[in-house]
Amino acid sequence: MARAGGRAAAAAGPRGAAGNRPGRAPRLAERGHAGRRGLAGALAAALLLGYLAAAQAQVIATRIWPARDYTRVTFESRQALDYSMFALKDPQRLVLDLNAEDADGLIAALQSKVAAEDPYVAVLRVGANRPGVTRVVLDLKAEVRPQVFALKPIAEYGHRLVLDLYPLVPPDPLAALLELNGQLAAPGARGGDTTPRSVVRLATVVVDAGHGGEDPGARGRRGAKEKDITLLIARRLKALIDAEPGMRAVLTRDGDYYLSLQARVEKARAVKADLLVSVHADAFTRPHARGSSVFTLSQRPTSAAAAWLAKQENDSDLIGGVGLDARDPYLKQVLVDLSQTATNDHSMKLAGAVLSELGQINTLHKAQVERAGFAVLKAPDVPSILVETAFISNPQEERRLQDERYQDKMARAMLAGIKRYFSLHPPRPQGPLAQK
C-alpha cells in the first residue's frame, strides 16, 4: 500500500512535475530579474540619498554680526543643516560641527570676518573634522550663553542655522544711561543727608532704528536699504536730543545687527522711557507712492494699507531671526488693556505733534495719524509712535533719504514734534534721570 501509495504519488507526480519542472526555469529567471531590479533600485536610492545629502550640505553664505547686545553667526544653506555643539573651558571655546563640506570655502571665509572690536569672539577657526563634517571653533573673549536655532526659508534667504552668543550678564541699558549722564555716585556719598532738594527730571526718549543685521527692511531701486537709512536718521535724532537741556536719548541699536521687536520694547521699559520713537522708511509695490506717515498702536487698523504695513514690519522677526524660546509677554495684555490706560492717548498726542512737523518738510502720505498693530509699539507704559519717514520705493524719495541734509531735516522735524509734546506734557518728576 505504501508502495502503491508511492506509485500513486509517483503517478500523480509526473503531472505535478510536469507542472513544476518546465516552469522552474522561468521562475528562476524572474527571481534573477527581480534581484537585478532590486539592486538597481537600491543603487538608485543610494545615489539619490547621496545627492540629497550633498544638497543638504551645501552652504551658500556665511555672515557674522557683532554687537554689544550679542554676536550672531549665520550659516545659510539650500537645505537644513545638521549640527552638534559643545563648549570647552580653559580657555573658553565653543565648537560647532556642521554636517557639511566646505568645498567653496564659504565657511572658512568666516575666519576673516571676525572684527577686532567683537565683544565676544576673539578668533574663529575652521577645519575638516572628518569626512562630510566641518568644524567651526570660536575662541571666546569671555564665557557666553550660546543659543543655536534653525530658520526656514523666507524672503531672500534659504535655510539658516543661527548661532547667537549672549553675555552671561546682559548689558543694563539703564545703568549705561545713568553712567552716561554722570548719575552714578559712590556708595554712601550722601550719607545721612536728608536735606530736601529740588528735582529736575531729564526726559528719556528711546529712538529705535528699524530692522538691522539679517533684516535689511525695504530696498530702494537704487540699492538703498531701510536698515541703513533708519540708523543714520536715528543717530542724528539722538545727537539732537542729547544736545537739548533736560533731555537724553537712548538708541535701541547703534550698529548693523538685529534686535527682536520684543527686545526693543523691553529696552524702552528698562530705561523707564518717557517716549519711544521707531524710525522706518516705507515701501510699496508702485513706485509713485510717496510721503511721510506716523502710526500708533491699535487692534483696529485705520485702513487695510495700515494693517498690511503692520504685518510687513512685524514679519521682521521672521526675517531678522528670533529663537523659538522668544516669547512676547505683552501681546494679549496690551491689546486688551490699552484702551484702559492713558498710554494710547499720549501716543496719539505725540504722533500728532510729530506728523505736523513732518508736514513742513515733506508731503504727508496721510494727513492724519494712522493706527495698526505694530509689535514695536506695545510697551504698555511708554507712549510710542512709528514714523515712516518717506517711501524708499519711490526713486525721488530714495535719493532724498540718502542725502545727509535731508536726514538732518527729518531728525529735526521729529525733535520739534517731541519738544512740542513735552511742552504740554512734561515728564513726571519721578524717574531714573532726576537730577538733584
Give 249-272 pLDDT, tens digit per residue. Answer: 999 999 999 999 999 999 999 999
- Is the pLDDT reported for residue 341 higher than 70? no
- Rounded CA-CA distance 275/253 in Å is 16
Per-residue pLDDT of 170-198, as tens digits, reads: 888 777 777 666 643 444 444 444 444 44
The SS3 of residue 237 is helix
What pLDDT is attached to residue 428?
73
Per-residue pLDDT of 266-316, as tens digits, reads: 999 999 999 999 999 999 888 899 999 999 998 889 999 899 899 889 888
Q: Which residue has the higher pLDDT, 429 or 15?
A: 429
- Rounded CA-CA distance 135/133 in Å is 6
CA distances from 292 to 254, 301, 354, 380 (A): 24, 18, 10, 25
Write down the CATH superfamily of domain 173-184+198-435.
Answer: Zn-dependent exopeptidases (3.40.630.40)
- Rounded CA-CA distance 130/97 in Å is 10
| Helix boundaries (H) for 359-403 | 395-401
Strand ordering across the sheet containing 133-140: 83-88, 93-98, 133-140, 121-130
What is the residue whose three cell numbers read 534686535? Answer: 259
- pLDDT class of 138 with cuts at 50, 70, 90: very high
- Is the pLDDT reported for residue 227 higher than 70? yes
Query: 357 Cβ partners below 8 Å, 6+ apart?
Result: 413, 414, 416, 417, 420
Q: Going by CATH, does the domain composed of 59-167 fall within 3.40.50.1000?
A: no
- pLDDT class of 201 with cuts at 50, 70, 90: confident
Per-residue pLDDT of 387-413, as tens digits, reads: 999 999 999 999 999 999 999 999 999
- Rounded CA-CA distance 235/238 in Å is 5
CA angle, 398 as apex, 396 and 404 as ends, to 5°? 110
Listed in order, strand segments (DSSP E) in 141-188 are: 144-151, 159-167
Q: How much of the chain is in helix, strand and coil states, percent to nearest 5?
A: 40, 25, 35
Contact 226, 398 (CB under 8 A): no
For the chain, give every domain's residue range: 59-167, 173-184+198-435
Lowest mean pLDDT among 34-38, 84-88, 195-199: 195-199
Enter the DSSP assignment of 103: T
Q: Which residue has the higher pLDDT, 46 or 346?
A: 346
- pLDDT class of 86 with cuts at 50, 70, 90: very high
What pLDDT is attached to residue 435?
52
Contact 204, 431 (CB under 8 A): yes
What pLDDT is attached to residue 170?
86
What is the pLDDT of the chain when averaged over all its residues? 83
Strand ordering across the sheet containing 384-391: 247-251, 203-209, 275-282, 384-391, 293-297, 370-372
